[in-house]
Amino acid sequence: MRAGQNPVDILTNLPSVAPAGSFFVTDPVGRSPYAYCCFGQSLFYEVNLYDGALRHLANLPAGVVFGPGLCATLNSTNGRVWIVGPGTGGPDFVYTGYYNPLTDTWVAADAGNSLDALLAATWGTEGTLLHLGPAMSGAYTGDVMILRGANLNTCYLFSIVGDAWAATGVPGAVAGPGATMAVAWGHNDDRVYASLGTGVAPMAYYSIAGGNWPMFVGGPSFGDGPNTGSAACTHPAGRRILYRINATGQIVSYDPVTNALTAYARIYGADGTATVGNKMCAYVQNGDTYVVVLLHGSTQIQRIRIVE
């Protein structure tokens, strides 16, 4: 560990290298000691964030194909892991479903293939998924939201109760590699904050009540515009969002109260060659905040204890 750096340790090593499309998610409010990591069609694992123990879970469902474009989010109310990703072909070109940790099974959703219809039976290699948890406000609380990447500017909301997707709003700039979405519990609970990727420096936000994407005017900009390899998660104490920038090793914090971005932590050593897929989460243990990252193109999961 270098002088002045937050303490870093290797939480665990995966059985094989995590390629593009891998994801790493946990309870966005930091209350769970477990995260879920997927790095292959038959490589879906529970990771104990306290001791690094791995538990092999049910394989991805037959209707989805692991690879670039697979994205995930966790419902903090019931622990279900929602995914959207490439399907196996008509009529299911895009798969929507969730993992139920109580039964160790996958359940398909969007029975009417509404997302296929919206996307004209195509998906792509980019996307970021977000569950709008119970701390949010507005009409869509409890639904799932997706922002397409691949240099497109389409955004969709999935009604869990209605089991269907619908288009909603258009960002003011296209979303490309490195696009992320996250919320800051306890402040501006109507907003979903986004980095748009492809090196776009200004941030944007989606207004749930307004159903649109106002852009920050004169707001904060990333020094290194998020691109392939970037990720975002909610700070477990709320009120802030953490961003992993490309494969630079930088982790920065966004505070919506002050509307400012500041340096927060740093990955130890080289981060590898950047690949798509959200591979970062954060949690609280014994009062300390930890940021956990799956290194790009690696088996290593690092845990960074934040001294605040």
Q: Is residue 248 part of a domain?
A: yes
Q: Is residue 119 part of a domain?
A: yes
Q: Is residue 1 part of a domain?
A: no
Q: Is residue 130 part of a domain?
A: yes
Output the domain CATH number for residue 89: 2.120.10.80
Number of domains the chain contains: 1
- Can you tell me the distance from the alpha carbon of 18 to that of 188, in angstroms, rounded to the nearest whole number? 35
Q: Which structural domain, as residue segments, surrounds residue 250?
A: 8-306
Do 66 and 38 form a contact (C-beta atoms < 8 A)? Answer: yes
Q: What pLDDT tens digit does each residue of the chain (308 aa) get?
A: 343 468 999 999 999 999 988 999 998 877 789 999 999 999 999 999 999 999 999 999 999 999 988 999 999 889 999 999 988 877 678 999 999 999 999 999 999 999 988 888 778 788 899 998 876 777 788 898 888 776 677 889 999 999 999 988 888 777 778 889 998 877 788 889 988 877 676 788 888 888 888 877 667 777 777 888 889 999 988 789 999 988 888 999 999 888 888 999 999 988 888 888 889 999 999 889 999 999 988 999 999 998 77
Q: Is residue 173 part of a domain?
A: yes
Q: Is residue 27 part of a domain?
A: yes
- Can you tell me the distance from the alpha carbon of 44 to that of 285, in angstroms, rounded to the nearest whole number? 24
- Can you tell me the distance from the alpha carbon of 150 to that of 123, in angstroms, rounded to the nearest whole number? 9
Q: Is residue 3 part of a domain?
A: no
Burial environment of residue 58 by CB neighbours within 10 A (0 to 12, 13 to 18, 19 or more): middle
Q: Is residue 108 part of a domain?
A: yes
